[in-house]
Amino acid sequence: MNMFYFILIIFIIAAGSNGEYHPPLKGMQYFSITCKTPEQLSLLRSLTNNPNVLTLKLSQILGESADILVTADESSQFKNILLLYKIDHTIITDDVEHVVHEEALKNNIVRMQSSRITLNKLSAEPFDYYPRYHEMEEYITFLAKNYSEIVSVDSIGTSFQNRTLYVIKISSGGDNKPQILIDAGIHAREWIAPSTALYAVHQLVTNQSNTYLYKNVDWLIIPSLNPDGYEYTHSNYRFWRKTRSINKGSTCIGTDANRNFDLKWMTVGASSNPCSETYGGPKPFSEVETLALKDYVMANNKTIKAYLTLHSYGQYLLHPWGYTSDLPENEPELRSVAERAAAALAAPFGTRYTIGSSTNVLYAAAGGSDDWLMGVAGANLSYTVELPGGRFDPPPSRIEFVGIETFEAFKVFQEYIEKTFVN
């Protein structure tokens, strides 16, 4: 072999198949950090601005824990800074890789034991494990076929890697009814979100006592808006967040779809670096997935009255704006409906959510789907629902509980739409 090819091969091996960098999980530490002063919090925020630091949860609220993953290489320096600034912290695990493997193994065991698999049976029952995308597709197709009086399934477009983006419409029929739009999975690694969306579908479709919920109001549910990223978290890298599109002139992949919507795009809390976790893309709606949502919403914007986008984690019910700390005009209404929704959600198991605007509760970040739906597309209500976590996501045994309690909140939004828009 001549020298040129030898060097080329070494280069390709060193770079990985496409040169993508993922913060290595081996020896990665999981920090739970509590800031007591605004100075500590702003220092912590600056520490997260590092490709070897992954932020799973970080809020503006002093005294509330932040969950941060730090690679083995970086962790002792990270820890020393926390010590120097007397920032309280504990290490939840110092081997994230092990926890990730364990989580995947447990999920697979539950899948193998699930009646869906053992009985080789398609059903409208909710998933008791985190499904792969093809399993969601089978589920959706099954519903469309077996509950065709109330369920219709459409494609709103295809993902970068050509996966179908589905919307499940649950309706008793008739035109121009007010609609509630729910999407999930914009962020790939937030596995609980698609499962919670599908749990709501299951409740609406199979529970006879829920038929009143779609008598006068249509439900539009997009269970996974970023299937490429979702699949990648199952097959390659558990903490993938972005889409899987190719960035011209960079070996780094993907855009943060929740920084890619066209309202004050890139003004705050988004990066112009394609390697960043919060890369906003080369232009608004550069991603086929966000563009598909935009086109779908604009085709239905007269009827979409409320929008819920499911994320994880932290137990927050966030309303606009994400680009400014100013509150929207309809803040009193956003807040009061959210308070009723949070009370309903807490009823079954006591789960508590924090309510407020994205900027004031979490951080300022422009280009989110919630801001665009309310500020441009004209939805009356718009929320980001940060579902509960576990070590990363809740264990499969919790999927149903999260589904049950979140559905209670969904009912409150439905009730608001019915009372406000149906005469």
Active site residues: 386
- Copy the structure tokens of residue 187: 């962020």
Q: Give Cα 93 to chain centroid, integer Å.
A: 24
Which parts of this chain interact with Zn ion (CB under 5 A)? 187, 190, 311
| Residues 163, 148 contacting (CB under 8 angstroms) | no
Residues 230-259 within binding reach of ligand 0X9 (CB under 6 A): 258
Report, in Å, the least distance between residue 58 CB and ligand 0X9.
8
* End-to-end alpha carbon distance in the chain: 79
Q: Taking CB within 5 to 8 Å according to partner kind, which of ligand 0X9, Zn ion, none is near residue 23?
A: none
Q: Where are the alpha helices (DSSP H) in 175-262?
A: 192-206, 227-235
| Residues 381, 147 contacting (CB under 8 angstroms) | no
- Choosing from 384, 389, 393, 396, the residue that interacts with ligand 0X9 (CB under 6 A) is 384
Report, in Å, the least distance between residue 320 CB and ligand 0X9.
7
Report, in Å, the least distance between residue 413 CB and ligand 0X9.
17
The site for ligand 0X9, by CB under 6 A, has a size of 14
Q: Is the peptide bond before 191 cis (omega within 30 degrees of 0)?
A: no
For ligand 0X9, the closer of residues 33 and 170 by Cβ is: 33
Q: Taking CB within 5 to 8 Å according to partner kind, which of ligand 0X9, Zn ion, none is near residue 384?
A: ligand 0X9
CA–CA dist 284, 81 (Å, integer): 37
Beta strands in 171-323 (DSSP E): 179-184, 218-222, 304-312, 316-319
Q: Does 187 bind ligand 0X9 (CB under 6 A)?
A: yes
Q: Taking CB within 5 to 8 Å according to partner kind, which of ligand 0X9, Zn ion, none is near residue 358?
A: ligand 0X9
Report, in Å, the least distance between residue 3 CB and Zn ion.
47
Residues 317-376 within binding reach of ligand 0X9 (CB under 6 A): 318, 322, 358, 362, 365, 368, 370-371
Residues 287-316 within binding reach of ligand 0X9 (CB under 6 A): 311
CA–CA dist 43, 251 (Å, integer): 30
Q: Taking CB within 5 to 8 Å according to partner kind, which of ligand 0X9, Zn ion, none is near residue 322?
A: ligand 0X9
| Residues 217, 225 contacting (CB under 8 angstroms) | no
Q: Where are the alpha helices (DSSP H) in 127-191?
A: 133-146
Report, in Å, the least distance between residue 187 CB and Zn ion.
3
Q: What's the 3-state SS for 26-55?
A: CCCEEEEEECCCHHHHHHHHHHCCCCCEEE
For ligand 0X9, the closer of residues 72 and 192 by Cβ is: 192
CA–CA dist 202, 218 (Å, integer): 15
Contact residues for ligand 0X9, defined by CB under 6 A? 187, 190, 258, 311, 318, 322, 358, 362, 365, 368, 370-371, 384, 386
